[in-house]
Chains A and B, each alone.
Chain A
Amino acid sequence: MEHIRTPKVEQVKLLDRFSNKSVIGTLHLTATHLIFVESNSTSAQEIWILHHHIASVEKLSLTTSGCPLLIQCRNFRLVHFVIPRERDCHDIYSSLLRLLRPVSYDELYAFSYNPKQNDQQREEGWQLIDLAAEFERMGVPCDQWQLTDVNREYKRLPPNICIGLVKSVVPHLLCFYNVLRGGKRLYLFVSCLQAAVCRCSQPLSGFSARCLEDEHMLQAISKANHNSRYVYVMDTRPKLNALANRAAGKGYENEDNYSNIRFQFVGIENIHVMRGSLQKLLEVVGTRSLSMTDYLVGLENSGWLRHIKAIMDAAIFLAKAVTVEGASVLVHCSDGWDRTAQVCALGSLLMDPYYRTIKGFMVLIEKDWISFGHKFADRCDQLDPDPKEVSPIFTQFLECVWQLTEQFPQAFEFSEWFLIQIHEHVHSCQFGNFLGNSQRQREVLQLKERTYSLWAHLLSEKQNYLNPVYSPSFAESHPVLEPSTQACHFKFWRNMYHQYDRSMHPRQSILKQVLTFKESNRELEGTVQALKTKLQKFGVSTSPLKPQTPPRERSLPPRPQSLILGAPLLSRKEVQQEEDEEVFGEEAREDAPASTDGERTVEGSSATENGYGELTGSFGSKNEPAVVTLEFGVARMTC
C-alpha cells in the first residue's frame, strides 16, 4: 500500500478505443487492482484491471480536458483515461509504474489471493492434475520404458539450463547421461503403435563434437519401438538458426553419427521474431478506422498467421510420423522449452482425444508446458522482466488450438472461452500454476502450500467453458485430427485479440445461445422428471423420457461478477447492458416483446460506436432538442 499515493480520483474520463464515445467515472487504485467505476448510477459499469495484467503505462502530453493515461494490458485490453488534474495523473502513473513491476515473488497476487477455501480444499485443488497418473494412462512404465528419478535433486542437468525435468520419467538409459546436451529432457508419448514422442534440447555438437552416450540413447529409443527402424529427429528451428548455433558449440545432430535417424528441420522462428510479430499484429488491429487494405497488408506483414501455420505444420508432421509411419520422434529446438513445447503439445492434441477434454487439456498444459519447464515467468513477464525474454509462445499454442476448434467444432469439450480464460490467468499471477520458470523454482516457492490452483477454479465454473456441440463419439471417428493447413483456413482470432473491444464482436453469440439451450434442456429434463413423479402419485404411469444427454449436476456454479476475473461468457452481457443506455439485452426482450419500436438496438450496438463515417456537418434543425446529435457525437461541425 505504501506505493499508492492517490487511492481515488474522481471525474476521470474513459475514452473508447475505436470510437469517439467516452464515459465519466471514478478511478480507484488498490493494492491489486486499478478499478474504474462509471458515475452514472443507473448503469454503473465497472472495469477491474489487475496490476499484473498491465504491460505498460504511458502518460501522454497534457490536453485541455486533462492528462491522458494510456494503459496497455497483456490480455490485449487497452484503456485510455483522461484525468482532469495532472498531479493526480502523475500520482497514478508513478504508483502504477511501481506496482506493475513487482520485485519479488512474494508481491505477486497469488500469494495474497484468497478464494475463501481451507487448506484441505487448496490441497485438493493441487491434486486435481496428477502427472504420475497421466504417465500411467499413457502406459508407462512398460517393458520398453521405465521411470527414473535421476533428476531427483534437479542436479544432473546443468542448473542454468536444466529446469523442469519431470522427476520420475526418463528412460533408463539416462544413466549414460553426459552433459553434451544442454539439458536434455526426454519424455514419451506412447501411442498404440508403441511409438514415442521424445523431447530434448539441442545437442552440444558444435562443428565436430559427438557423444556416444547420446547416440546410444537415440538408438535405444529407436529399438524400443519395433514398428520402425528409424527415429525422426525434428529440429523445429529454421536451418539457418541451427547452423548459427554451431559456432557457439551447439547445433544439431549429424546424420553420419546417428545411424538410425531421419533428420528434419521445421522452421519455426525464435522467441524474438514471435514477440515482434505479435507487436506488429497488435499495432495493426489497434488502429482506428482501419481500412481493409491496411488490415490485410498489416496481417501479412506481421507474419503472425504464418508463424501459427508453421507451428501447426510441425505438429501435423509429428502426428503423421507417429500415427501413419509408427515411428518414434525426437523433437528439439534450442533450449527445448519453447518451440518444442508448442509442437509436442499440439502434436499430442492431434493424436490423443483425451487432451481435447477439459481435464485432458489441463493435463497437457501441466505436462508439456509446466513440468517440462516452459519459462512462464520470463515469457509472460511476471517479475522484473528482461524484455528480451518476453514472448507469446504460449499464446500461440492457445491460438493453434483455437484454429483447430474452428475446423473441428465437435472435437473439443471446451469452447474458446476456456482458452481465453487460461490465457487471462497465465498473466494474472492470481493462481500458482504458472508462476516461476521451472518445477524446481516452484518447489522453492512452496506454491502448493501458499497459493491456489487455477485448475480447481476453472473446473468449478466448468459450465461456462463447455462446448455445447461437443460430441464424445467424435473421438472414435476421428482419433487423429487431420486439419487442413491451407492458408485460407487460418483466421484472425478476434475474440482473443479484441476480447475487450466490444464494438468488434458479433452482437449475438451462437455459442452463448446454444449453451443456454443446453442448460435449459437439462433443467427441463429435471422438470419433466419431477412432474412425472407427481403424476405417479395419481397413479398415472408415463413413458420414460429418452434421455439425450446423461443427467449431470443441475445446479450451476456461481457466476463471477467481474469482467476480468470472471468468465467473459456471461458477464459480458451484463456489463454491456450497463454500458449503454439504449441497451436492450435478451432477457428484456422477453418482457417487452413486439411493442418495442423505440430506439433499441441489439446488445447496445450503436451507430456511432461503429464509425460508419463522419457525418461532418450534421444539422439537426434548431427547434429540435439537440440531444440526439450531441449524444452521438456528430454535432462537432456545422453545415
Chain B
Amino acid sequence: MEFAELIKTPRVDGVVLHRPFMPTVEGTLCLTGHHLILSSRQDNTEELWLLHANIDSTEKRFVGSLGTIIVKCKDLRVIQLDIPGMEECLNIASSIEALSTLDSVSLMYPFFYRPLFEVIEDGWQSFAPEESFRDLESMTDEWRLSEVNKDFSVCPSYPSLLTVPKDIDDESLCKAASFRHGGRFPVLSYYHKKNGMVMMRAAQPLTGTNGRRCKEDEKLINATLCAGKRGYIIDTRTIAVAQQAKARGGGFEQEANYPQWRRIHKAIERSNVLQDSLIKLVEACNDQSHSMDRWLSKLEASNWQSNVKEILTTACLAAQCIDREGASVLVHGTEGTDSTLQVTSLAQIILDPACRTIRGFEALIEREWLQAGHPFHQRCAQSAYSNGKPRSEAPVFLLFLDCVWQILRQFPCSFQFNENLLIMLFEHAYTSQFGTFLGNCVAERGKLQLSQKTVSLWSWVNRPQELERFLNPLYEPNNLVIWPSVAPQSLLLWEGVFLRWNRSTKCLDEAYQEMVHIIEYNKELQNKVNSLRRQLAQLETEDKMVADLK
C-alpha cells in the first residue's frame, strides 16, 4: 500500500497552530506518510513535527470556511490547527485519521526510520538473557537456563530462554506449563543476593471448578524453598475475583496442595478498569475551570492514585516478604503479563540497587516487561483520548512508571536517572521511531525481525549525548533496600506527565538548572582543591629537597 493513497491533501498554507503556554505559529502544514509537519519557513521558529502514530484522536469544528482540527496525542498533549478552507480541512482530518490508525505493524514508522546518529552499541544485543544468567550463576548454582521454550510452543508469550530450578527437568516444565494460564509456568524473576530468597512469577493455575492439581507445578515451586522454609504466593487479585476465575478454568493454589505456601490476595485492578481510570484522570487534569472541590472529587473518582497506591503496596509487600521475612515469593494474577509484572519489577527497584541505575533500569524493563511478554502493542494502541471502544488498551506500563516516579520522589538521591527518563519511556511505549516496544512478546518480535529492520531505543538512549539529559545530579549510589511510604499523603500526582501540557514549567526548570549548577560547581571546586593541594605538596617537597641539599 502506498501512503500517498491516504494523503488527500499533502500541503496547506496559512495554517495556524495553537498550543497551550506557547505562542501561536502560522505556517504551512505538510502531511507525509508518518508525520504531520507544520513549518513557518522562518529560521529560529519552532516547528511541529508530529508522528501520526502519536495521534490518539481528532475533532473537527467549522466556523464559516475556517476549519479547526483539535489533535489529541498519546503523550497527552492537545494541539489545535486552524485550517483555512473547508475542503482542505476535511481532507487533512480524514488523512490524519487514516494514517494514525494503520493496523499493520510493518507499516509503522520504526520500519522506515533511519538513525541520524552512529549506532555504537546495538541495543538489541545489550540485554541478553544469557548475560543476566551469568550474574545469577556467580551467586548460586541452584538454577539453570532452560531451552524448553525454544520454538515458543510451551508458552507463546515467554522468551526462548528461561531460568528455572536446576532440579526440574524440561518435561516437568511442560506439564507445569499446561497447568498455568497461557503456559506461563513459574520462572525466576529475581534472586535476592542478601539472603538467597527468590521472587518468581507465573500466570494463574488452571484449577477450574473441580480443583485440578498438578504435581509438577507443586514440585517446581517447592524446589525453590530451602528445607523447612515456607514461601508466599501473592495473588494480585482479590479472593472474590480469584474465585470467579475458577468458573472460566482458572483459579488459585489450594492450601491443601501447597502446604508450604501462604497465599495473600491483593486488589490490583484489571486492565480495562485501568484504562477507564486513565481517561477520567486526564479529563480531570485538562479541565481548567474546576473549583477546588470539583477537582478533588474528579481526581478521586478517577481512582488513578488509588491504583498507584495499591500497586506500590503490593510491590512493597513482596519485597517485605523477601527481605524481612526471609521467604521466597511467587507472584501472579490472571494472565501474569500485567499486574504481575508491575509487582515483580517494582519489588526489584525497592530491593536491588542495581535497578536504580540507568543501565540496570533498562535491563529491568527489558527483562521484566519486554521479554516477560507484556503485550505492549495491545496495551499502548490507544491512550487517554481514545473514543473508540477499548479493546485491550491499558496504562499498565504507565502505572508502573508512575510508581517508580513516586519512589524516586521519596528517595531523590538513590536513583541514577531522573524523571525525564521515565517520561521518555512513557512516550516511546506509546509511539516511537524505535522498534523496542513494538509487538506483544519475544516471539512476535522475532517474526517481525525487529532487530534487523528497526533501531533499538537503547541504541539511542545509551549514547553519552543523550544520557546526560537523564542523569540525576543528586545520585549517590547506595546498596540499601529503600522502603517507600505508601500513605496517601506521601503519594503525589505525577505532574510531569499529567499536567505537563497544562502548566508553564519555566520557573521549575530554572530552579532545577540552578540546582544542577550548584552541584557541578561543587565538583569543580573539589577538583580545584585537589589540584592545588598536589601542586603545593610538590612545591613543598621540592623546597625541602633544596633545603636538604643546602
Chain B residues lying within 8 Å of A444, measured Cβ to Cβ, are: none
Complex contact A506–B412 (CB within 8 A): yes
- Looking at the assembled complex, report how far the CB atom of A340 sits from the nearest CB atom of chain B, in whole angstroms: 22
Complex contact B194–A612 (CB within 8 A): no
- Looking at the assembled complex, report how far the CB atom of B355 sits from the nearest CB atom of chain A, in whole angstroms: 15
Complex contact B489–A285 (CB within 8 A): yes
Contact with B along A506-529 (1 / 0, CB 8 A): 111110011001101100110110
Complex contact A542–B532 (CB within 8 A): yes
Complex contact B518–A617 (CB within 8 A): no
Most buried by B among A297, A498, A597: A597
Chain A residues lying within 8 Å of B180, measured Cβ to Cβ, are: none
Given known contacts A612-B316, A615-B320, A409 and B511 CB-to-CB distance under 8 angstroms: yes
Chain B residues lying within 8 Å of A408, measured Cβ to Cβ, are: 507
Task: Count residues of chain A with CB under 8 A from any CB of chain B.
Answer: 96
Chain B residues lying within 8 Å of A5, measured Cβ to Cβ, are: none
Alpha-carbon distance between A598 and B323 when the two chains are bound, in angstroms = 10
Q: Is A18 an interface residue (CB 8 A)?
A: yes
Complex contact A291–B306 (CB within 8 A): yes
Q: Is B241 an interface residue (CB 8 A)?
A: no
The one of B232, B306, B410 that contacts A506, using a Cβ cutoff of 8 Å: B410
Alpha-carbon distance between A170 and B483 when the two chains are bound, in angstroms = 58
Complex contact A513–B413 (CB within 8 A): yes
Complex contact A469–B515 (CB within 8 A): yes
Alpha-carbon distance between A494 and B409 when the two chains are bound, in angstroms = 13
Complex contact B194–A506 (CB within 8 A): no
Complex contact A518–B518 (CB within 8 A): yes
Complex contact A487–B290 (CB within 8 A): yes
- Looking at the assembled complex, report how far the CB atom of A635 sits from the nearest CB atom of chain B, in whole angstroms: 10
Given known contacts A469-B515, A584-B480, A607 and B316 CB-to-CB distance under 8 angstroms: yes
Complex contact B480–A299 (CB within 8 A): no
Complex contact A484–B503 (CB within 8 A): yes
Complex contact B291–A487 (CB within 8 A): yes
Alpha-carbon distance between A608 and B284 when the two chains are bound, in angstroms = 34
Contact with A along B291-320 (1 / 0, CB 8 A): 111111101100101101100011011011
Chain B residues lying within 8 Å of A487, measured Cβ to Cβ, are: 290-292, 294-296
Q: Is A61 an interface residue (CB 8 A)?
A: no
Q: Is B207 an interface residue (CB 8 A)?
A: no
Alpha-carbon distance between A578 and B288 when the two chains are bound, in angstroms = 46
Complex contact A535–B536 (CB within 8 A): yes
Q: Is B40 an interface residue (CB 8 A)?
A: no
- Looking at the assembled complex, report how far the CB atom of A449 sits from the nearest CB atom of chain B, in whole angstroms: 44
The one of B306, B410, B499 that contacts A293, using a Cβ cutoff of 8 Å: B306
Dominant SS at the B interface? helix
Contact with B along A380-418 (1 / 0, CB 8 A): 000000000000000000000000000111110000000
Complex contact A531–B518 (CB within 8 A): no
Chain A residues lying within 8 Å of B536, measured Cβ to Cβ, are: 531, 534-535, 538
Query: A residues 346-393 with Cβ under 8 Å of B?
Result: none
Contact with B along A295-317 (1 / 0, CB 8 A): 11101100101100100000000
- Looking at the assembled complex, report how far the CB atom of A405 sits from the nearest CB atom of chain B, in whole angstroms: 10
Of the listed stretches B434-442, B444-452, B522-530, chain A binds B522-530
Q: Is B533 an interface residue (CB 8 A)?
A: yes
Q: Is B486 an interface residue (CB 8 A)?
A: yes
Given known contacts A528-B532, A540-B539, A607 and B323 CB-to-CB distance under 8 angstroms: yes
Complex contact B525–A528 (CB within 8 A): yes
Complex contact B309–A292 (CB within 8 A): yes
Alpha-carbon distance between A491 and B486 when the two chains are bound, in angstroms = 17
Q: Is B262 an interface residue (CB 8 A)?
A: yes
Complex contact A468–B515 (CB within 8 A): yes
Of the listed stretches A38-46, A159-167, A618-626, chain B binds A618-626
Alpha-carbon distance between A460 and B125 when the two chains are bound, in angstroms = 59
Chain A residues lying within 8 Å of B264, measured Cβ to Cβ, are: 613, 615
Chain B residues lying within 8 Å of A628, measured Cβ to Cβ, are: 324-326
Given known contacts A506-B411, A597-B193, A292 and B479 CB-to-CB distance under 8 angstroms: no
- Looking at the assembled complex, report how far the CB atom of A630 sits from the nearest CB atom of chain B, in whole angstroms: 12
Given known contacts A507-B411, A602-B478, A607-B319, A612 and B486 CB-to-CB distance under 8 angstroms: yes
Complex contact B413–A508 (CB within 8 A): yes
The one of B305, B413, B483 that contacts A601, using a Cβ cutoff of 8 Å: B483
- Looking at the assembled complex, report how far the CB atom of A576 sits from the nearest CB atom of chain B, in whole angstroms: 13
Alpha-carbon distance between A494 and B489 when the two chains are bound, in angstroms = 7
Alpha-carbon distance between A535 and B295 when the two chains are bound, in angstroms = 63
Q: Is A605 an interface residue (CB 8 A)?
A: yes
Chain A residues lying within 8 Å of B120, measured Cβ to Cβ, are: none
Chain B residues lying within 8 Å of A615, measured Cβ to Cβ, are: 232, 264, 317, 320-321, 325
Complex contact A540–B492 (CB within 8 A): no
Alpha-carbon distance between A299 and B491 when the two chains are bound, in angstroms = 14
Q: Is B80 an interface residue (CB 8 A)?
A: no
Complex contact A601–B489 (CB within 8 A): no
Complex contact A410–B482 (CB within 8 A): no
Alpha-carbon distance between A300 and B284 when the two chains are bound, in angstroms = 15
Given known contacts A584-B480, A607-B324, A486 and B533 CB-to-CB distance under 8 angstroms: no
The one of A494, A602, A634 that contacts B480, using a Cβ cutoff of 8 Å: A602
- Looking at the assembled complex, report how far the CB atom of B197 sits from the nearest CB atom of chain A, in whole angstroms: 12
Given known contacts A306-B291, A468-B518, A628-B326, A521 and B479 CB-to-CB distance under 8 angstroms: no
Q: Is B32 an interface residue (CB 8 A)?
A: no
Given known contacts A619-B230, A621-B230, A300 and B300 CB-to-CB distance under 8 angstroms: yes
Complex contact B316–A305 (CB within 8 A): no
Q: Is B171 an interface residue (CB 8 A)?
A: no
- Looking at the assembled complex, report how far the CB atom of B537 sits from the nearest CB atom of chain A, in whole angstroms: 10
Complex contact A517–B305 (CB within 8 A): no
- Looking at the assembled complex, report how far the CB atom of A197 sits from the nearest CB atom of chain B, in whole angstroms: 25
Most buried by B among A303, A525, A584, A615: A615
Alpha-carbon distance between A506 and B487 when the two chains are bound, in angstroms = 11
Contact with A along B9-49 (1 / 0, CB 8 A): 00000000000000000000000000000000000000000
Complex contact A517–B519 (CB within 8 A): yes
Alpha-carbon distance between A303 and B296 when the two chains are bound, in angstroms = 10
Given known contacts A293-B306, A602-B482, A623 and B228 CB-to-CB distance under 8 angstroms: yes
- Looking at the assembled complex, report how far the CB atom of B239 sits from the nearest CB atom of chain A, in whole angstroms: 13
Chain A residues lying within 8 Å of B271, measured Cβ to Cβ, are: none
Chain A residues lying within 8 Å of B87, measured Cβ to Cβ, are: none
Q: Is B3 an interface residue (CB 8 A)?
A: no
Alpha-carbon distance between A597 and B526 when the two chains are bound, in angstroms = 29
Alpha-carbon distance between A306 and B413 when the two chains are bound, in angstroms = 34
Complex contact A612–B291 (CB within 8 A): no
Query: A residues 446-490 with Cβ under 8 Å of B?
Result: 468-469, 471, 484, 486-490
Alpha-carbon distance between A612 and B313 when the two chains are bound, in angstroms = 5
Residue of A nearest to B350 (CB): A607
Alpha-carbon distance between A37 and B291 when the two chains are bound, in angstroms = 47
Chain B residues lying within 8 Å of A489, measured Cβ to Cβ, are: 499, 503
Chain A residues lying within 8 Å of B481, measured Cβ to Cβ, are: 599-601
Complex contact B503–A513 (CB within 8 A): no
Chain A residues lying within 8 Å of B525, measured Cβ to Cβ, are: 521, 524-525, 528
- Looking at the assembled complex, report how far the CB atom of B230 sits from the nearest CB atom of chain A, in whole angstroms: 6
Complex contact B413–A409 (CB within 8 A): no
Chain A residues lying within 8 Å of B303, measured Cβ to Cβ, are: 292-293
Q: Which residues of B approach A to under 8 Å, CB–CB?
A: 193-194, 228-230, 232, 262, 264, 266, 284-285, 288, 290-297, 299-300, 303, 305-306, 308-309, 313-314, 316-317, 319-321, 323-326, 409-414, 474, 476, 478-493, 499, 502-504, 507-508, 510-511, 514-515, 518-519, 521-522, 525-526, 528-529, 532-533, 535-536, 539, 543
A-B contact pairs, 15 of them (CB 8 A): A410-B510, A469-B515, A471-B510, A487-B291, A487-B295, A488-B284, A492-B489, A503-B485, A514-B474, A517-B522, A601-B480, A608-B324, A610-B316, A619-B262, A621-B230
Q: Which residues of A approach B to under 8 Å, CB–CB?
A: 18, 285, 290-297, 299-300, 303, 305-306, 309, 407-411, 468-469, 471, 484, 486-492, 494, 498, 503-510, 513-514, 517-518, 520-521, 524-525, 527-528, 531-532, 534-535, 538, 540, 542, 545, 548, 584, 586, 589, 594-602, 605-613, 615, 617-624, 628-629, 632, 634, 639
Kindly list 4 other residue pairs between chains A and B, CB separation below 8 angstroms, not including A306-B292, A632-B324: A300-B300, A503-B485, A509-B412, A607-B483
